[in-house]
Amino acid sequence: MGERGYRYTGEPPPPRFNMAAYCLGLRPGAPRDPDRVGLVVVSDAHAPATAAQRWTYAELDDSVRAAAAGLLALGLQPGERVMLRLGNSAAYPLLFFGAVAAGLVAVPTSAQLTAEEALLLLADSGARAVVMSDDLGIEVPDGVMRLGPERLAAWQGGADRAGYSDTDAEDPAFLVYTSGTTGRPKGVLHAHRSAWGRRPMYQGWYGIGPDDVMLHAGALNWTYTLGVGLTDPWATGATGVVYNGGKDPTVWPVLMQAHRASLFAAVPGVFRQLLRYTDVAEYDLSALRHGLVAGEALSPTLYRHWRQATGTELYEALGMSECSTFVSSSPSVPVRPGCPGRPQPGRCVVVLPADGDAAAATTPLPAGASGALAVHRTDPGLMLGYWNRPQEEGEVFRGEWFVGGDLAHLDEDGYVHFHGRADDVMNAMGYRVSPLEVEAVLAKHPLVADVAVAELPIREGVSVVAAFVVVPDPDDPDCFDAAALMAHAAEHLAGYKRPREIIFVDALPRTANGKVRRRELAGTSWAPLTSPSSGSPQSLGHVKRVAVEADSSE
């Protein structure tokens, strides 16, 4: 059958389409009430709900168009990039959607990035302007405009308002960076149509409508929050609630009760901490219909504990930066613990051979056969491509199929069973992290003679980034300085990329051609020791293990 007969079957996006207008425009027939609150930002979870910052849809529309007018007044031209380097504040989404409304390309970045990492993204994106807060300031090169978040307040207080740009659905809207297999972050370029491509998620994962209140546990500068917490609630006329106070796993039931949240979205670690540190029975969660989880695999044990504690379902989704989520359970797709669900309505998702010749590599496999999970390139949620990376782009497209590196099989009922990654990319607290990027940083430290990084399971459903280090002199106890390695990583890497465990080893397991066998590292049971152990060069005999507390709320 080959590729014939396969394609996205959902409603196609209109040819002229602006993502910001779709989410916030007050056009006739829009699903949103101008007087309804569209955004709530909570800084103090224990203050009265009325103390939170609130924006109606009319105010969101006005602020976004003010931001668009202000950016265009700087002389920025359609298609030029605007990088955002801000903390967890409401200015972030308003400037993000303001750039998109103006026909510019927003480049959202995490506040966790070091200055070194942020400068790399600035250079790679070719952004003409960067909006950054003082505490995250970087020295921008000549020709790049540096703006502070206070510009937004000035634009809001002014009289200029731009209309939503008459963009083509295929025009670029935002550029998000993700870890690649080369060890260098790569930009995933999305079109305006990507917002339309999220429509299968409305009922295929959320079951969302205009009366819903979506509480998202992520930061406002995270693409998971921008998408699930804001883009989709706004496109359906619902309310998005985001917390930007201090890290505290006990705040979530407080916020659910105070703001009558009907949907709660987070990574599995947040749900795990919530259940560990709070008794949800003490709160009124009667408005909550169900929870939503993505970013990491949901363990059957965590699912069972959530059901027992709340009496509500927890619906999982599987996705990637290149296509958001495309597989999920939902109110209409019953949960099967240990399985993320089925392809969402309209999506064309198949399993292709993991290897093979050109003809066989594009022929979908039958139910039960394991291979590479693939999405048809007609899906409007799929990326335009990788920014200035044509070679890597060619590696993920097989004819009409996008193959993102996940291994899986489909059962007879169409449920997807995930079998891990075909490459070495790790999943750290919902972020994709390349081990090569982390290794390159650690290898520069004088106490590292050799190093490999892998995702290390520490208990069911929980994995951390671990660094396996060979020291230059195993007879020198000063070489085993994990604190120095942690400090070096903190200087050069974002928090979510840093190793949570340092494991000193005699040697790294390698193939005959010298490639590290990461799965062997990750699959080994590591017991803490305090003195060197002997063994052959391929032995994996380890010296000692040093861990730091993982924080899945980042």
Q: Where are the alpha helices (DSSP H) in 162-299?
A: 193-196, 199-201, 223-224, 232-235, 251-258, 268-277
Find all residues with CB under 8 Å of 157, minimum gap 6, and list them: none
- Written as six digits, the tokens of 246 are 């201090």
Query: Cβ–Cβ contacts within 10 Å for residue 217, how many?
Result: 24
**What's the pLDDT score for residue 529?**
36
Phi-psi sector, 540: left (phi>0), alpha (psi -120 to 50), beta: left
**Nearest Cα to 538, choosing from 508, 516, 504?**
508
**Nearest Cα to 195, choosing from 23, 397, 9?**
23
Phi, psi of 135 (to 5 degrees): -75, -10
* Cα–Cα dist 352/371, whole Å: 5
* Cα–Cα dist 125/82, whole Å: 9
**What's the pLDDT score for residue 458?**
75
* Cα–Cα dist 368/347, whole Å: 19
Q: What is the DSSP string of 106-126?
A: EEE--TTS-HHHHHHHHHHHT
Query: Could you read off the pLDDT tens digit of each residue along the chain, which spans 554 residues?
Result: 345 579 999 999 999 999 999 999 998 888 999 999 999 999 999 999 999 999 999 999 999 999 999 999 999 999 999 999 999 999 999 999 999 999 999 999 999 999 999 999 999 999 999 999 999 999 999 999 999 999 999 999 999 999 999 999 999 999 999 876 566 889 999 999 999 999 999 999 999 999 999 999 999 888 899 999 999 999 999 999 999 999 899 999 999 999 999 999 999 889 989 999 999 999 999 999 999 999 888 889 899 999 999 999 999 999 999 999 999 999 999 999 989 999 999 999 999 998 755 556 889 999 999 889 999 999 999 999 999 998 888 889 999 999 988 888 999 999 999 877 776 777 766 677 878 788 888 988 999 888 888 888 877 767 788 999 988 888 888 899 999 999 999 998 888 889 988 999 888 887 665 667 777 787 655 544 333 333 332 333 334 544 443 343 33
Strand partners, 130: 83, 146
Q: What is the DSSP string of 521-542?
A: HHTS-----SS-----TT---E
* Cα–Cα dist 50/13, whole Å: 38
Q: Where are the alpha helices (DSSP H) in 264-389?
A: 268-277, 300-310
Radius of gyration of the chain (CA): 23
Contact 109, 217 (CB under 8 A): no
63: helix, strand or coil = helix
- Residue holding tokens 């989520």? 325
Q: Please, what's the b/e burial string for 349-384 (b: 16 or more CB within 10 A of its CB; e: otherwise)?
A: bbbbbeeeeeeebbebbeeeeebbbbbbbebbbbbb
**What's the pLDDT score for residue 4?**
55
Percentages helix, strand, coil for the chain (3-state, rounded to 5) are 30, 25, 45
* Cα–Cα dist 249/233, whole Å: 24
**What's the pLDDT score for residue 537?**
28
* Cα–Cα dist 20/320, whole Å: 22
Query: Cβ–Cβ contacts within 10 Å for residue 80, how many?
Result: 17
Is-above-0.75 flag for pTM? yes
Instruction: Give the H or E element holding residue 94.
Output: helix 91-101
- Residue holding tokens 């009289």? 159
Q: Where are the alpha helices (DSSP H) in 25-56?
A: none
